[in-house]
Amino acid sequence: MVHEANVKQAAAEKQLKEAQGKIDVLQAEVTALKTLVLTSTPSSPNRQLHPQLQPSGTRGAYKHVGGHVRNKSASGGFPSSPGKPEPSSVSIQPAAKEDREMDSVLYAEFLMWKENPSVERSSAFLSRIYREDIGPCLSFTRSELSQLVQSAVENNSLTIEPVAMSALPMVKASAIECGGPKKCALSGISRLCRHRIKLGDKGSYYYISPSSRTRITAVCNFFTYIRYIQQGLVRHDAEQMFWEVMRLRREMTVAKLGFYITDQG
């Protein structure tokens, strides 16, 4: 009986050591993941976490060098020749400094929301942003589909993916509401659609124009950041968080006016 007890004790100790080893590995992975998340903000996204944020036309133009993302088109610089001035002598006009002034009402609403952060629109902070930014930014010609898109963004269940232009399927007559390679499903405008969206687990894909994609992405970036705050992953002071929120609001405003950056092939 003593021998049997010793055998069981040894087996139990072995299982305990194995379990502790697995816990250590998992804790290390969680720490590494948090580090990646903390270095990723909508203003400076970590492309390892958000590869979908890279324009489809430029993904091949980036190269990882020593853990950093580098643009091939900017690599190599300018070759110097004997008797010619170095390119460093070329004067570059510095960008104008942007001044800003905090709105006390907006800041007070943000501070009140930050005490108990939530993605619910019941707070004055989010209610205002829904009314002034999110709603107009996601208001398209097809209102019913616009509501579905907004719900998917809120639930974090919307997928945006690039479309291989050389392998686009023919759109059947019964699927006209999903748009097509040359017609945006949200705006109904004839545009070359290089991306499509999927809402949750539904099987339908909706082709979207570059402008529609920019508007959706701007709202997604906003929700990503406030979720980071809600989960305690943003280690900035309240004022820094507030100005990042204001920057994201500006991005939604610019996007809803129709401005977007084109992909460079």
Measured distance CA(135)–CA(183) in Å, rounded: 23
Within the chain, which residues score under 50 in pLDDT? 39, 51-52, 55-90, 167-168, 170-176, 265
Residues 6+ apart with CB under 8 A from 192: 181, 182, 209
Q: Calculate the alpha carbon distances from 20 to 12, 29, 35, 263 in Å.
A: 12, 14, 23, 48
Q: How far is CA 234 from the centre of its chain?
A: 15
End-to-end C-alpha distance for the chain, whole angstroms: 76
Is 184 in contact with 214 (CB distance < 8 Å)? no
How is residue 54 annotated by DSSP? S
Listed by start position, the domains of the chain span: 104-164+174-257
* pTM score, whole prediction: 0.62
Of 161, 173, 257, 242, residue with least CA distance to 205: 161
Q: How far is CA 146 from the centre of its chain?
A: 19
- Residue 153 has a pLDDT of 96
- Residue 22 has a pLDDT of 66
Of 80, 102, 98, residue with least CA distance to 89: 80
- Residue 85 has a pLDDT of 44
Residues 6+ apart with CB under 8 A from 133: 219, 222, 249, 252, 253, 256
- Residue 4 has a pLDDT of 77
What are the helix (H) ranges across 116-154?
Answer: 124-129, 135-137, 143-154
Q: Is the dihedral of CA 155, 114, 218, 69 positive or negative?
A: negative
Measured distance CA(154)–CA(190) in Å, rounded: 28
Structure tokens at 82: 């004997």
Q: How far is CA 21 from the centre of its chain?
A: 34
Q: Is the dihedral of CA 166, 169, 170, 176 positive or negative?
A: negative
